[in-house]
Amino acid sequence: MRHPGEVAVQRRAGVRAEDHGSSRTRPEIPDVAAEFLRGQRLLVAGAADDLGRVWAGLLTGPAGFAAPQDDRTIVVSALPAEPDPLHGLFTAERDIGLLAIEPHTRRRMRVNGTAVQAGDSLVVWTEQVYSNCPKYIQTREPTSVPGTPAGLGRGTALTDRHVAWIEEADTFFIATRAEGLGADVSHRGGNPGFVQVTGPGSLVFPDYTGNSMYMTLGNLELDPAAGLLFVDWARGETLQLTGRARVEWGEQRVVRFDVDEYAHLAGTVSAGWTAPGYHRFNPAVEPARAGG
């Protein structure tokens, strides 16, 4: 199915919609993708809550916790932790975007579909399964296991620590959705400083050249709701932001994001990772353009 938001963005970017985007994905899980999933210990999940706010969060477990059951079904032996805004959302079936990412090999794949809670697991039925290139992924490996998830605060105003965390980040994840077209979550990476806080509750980041699928921007074309996820790899903490995003077109395309709410969690990911190996194609960081 052609995604009207993707088509609009691709036309503006000068890309043939027939060659890229949702229409080029497949619902089945290829054998190579199933094998990759079975080896993963970390998934990023994205979904909208009952108010239409979009959140991105982590699911973690030992290798094998994400297990394909057949060519359209995955059982994830984990649920969003209680402090996570995604907690409890899947008691009824809803759209989900999943990203399986292996930082030390720079391999990643995305799975979009629907999911529902079954006991202590999440059952995912796939609609789109596809891999992405290794661009802008920083290599790092965990040196410990995740702790016990705990909430460290929720609010609407970013703290000084949050601002420093965001501006020092080399990686984050973005979840989007479009009514009737599903949810998606993707990776964004660059050199530290590529995300800049431009005011109270607002930030901007570049949209670097990628695979021209424009699945994130295509969803934003139809619905500005988005969720960002930042990871403090040293402390094992996560910062989840929900808000609204808009694309600004220029010589360097950028995305501006306004924060509506944040959730700060501890124990959601390993506290301790090897030093990052920056991707050789990371562009130099440029000052943010002035804008509202």
Mean pLDDT of the chain: 93
Res 23: pLDDT: 63
Report whether CATH 2.30.110.10 matches the domain 4-266. Answer: yes
pLDDT at residue 74 above 90? Answer: yes
Of the candidates 270, 255, 262, which has an alpha carbon nearest to the alpha carbon of residue 103?
270
pLDDT in tens, 130-148: 998 999 999 999 998 888 9
Mean pLDDT calculated for residue range 147-154: 93
Torsion of CA 202, 85, 97, 147, to 10 degrees: 100
The DSSP string of 186-231 is EEEE-STTSSEEEETTEEEEE-----S--HHHHHHHH--EEEEEEE
Check pLDDT > 90 for residue 12: no
Asked whether the predicted pLDDT for residue 87 surpasses 90, the reply is yes
The fraction of the chain above a pLDDT of 70, given in percent, is: 95
Ramachandran angles phi, psi of 5, nearest 5°: -65, -45
- The encoded tokens of residue 8 equal 């609009």
- Which of 274, 54, 260 is CA-nearest to residue 144? 274
Of the candidate ranges 143-147, 198-202, 215-219, 282-286, the one whose mean pLDDT is the lowest: 143-147
Q: What pLDDT band is residue 17 in, cutting at 50, 70 and 90?
A: low
pLDDT one-digit tens code per residue, 166-208: 999 999 999 999 999 999 999 999 999 999 999 989 999 999 9
Q: What is the pLDDT of residue 34?
A: 97
What pLDDT, on the 0 to 100 scale, is given for residue 6? 86
- Mean pLDDT in residue range 123-133: 95
Look at the pTM and tell me if it is higher than 0.85: yes
The Cα–Cα gap between 216 and 234 comes to 28
User: Cα(256)–Cα(226) distance, rounded to whole angstroms?
Assistant: 11
Q: Quick one: how far is CA 56 from the chain centroid?
A: 6
Confidence of residue 1 (pLDDT cuts 50, 70, 90): low
List the one residue out of 174, 5, 31, 37 whose CA is nearest residue 111.
37
Residue 2's CB is within 10 A of a number of other CB atoms, namely 10
Q: Is the pLDDT of residue 292 over 80?
A: no
Determine the Cα–Cα distance for residues 111 and 254; give it in Å rounded to an integer: 25
Q: What integer pLDDT is reported at residue 247 of this predicted model? A: 95
Cα separation, 111 vs 113, whole angstroms: 7
Distance separating alpha carbons of residues 254 and 224, to the nearest angstrom: 14
- Tell me the pairing of strands 182-189 and 196-199: unpaired
If you average pLDDT over residues 267-292, what whole number do you get?
85
* Alpha helices (runs of H) in the chain, residue ranges in sequence order: 4-13, 31-38, 160-168, 215-222
* Residue 20 vs residue 286, higher pLDDT: 286
Q: Which residues of 95-108 are buried (b: 16+ CB within 10 A; e: fewer)?
A: bbbbbbbbbeebbb
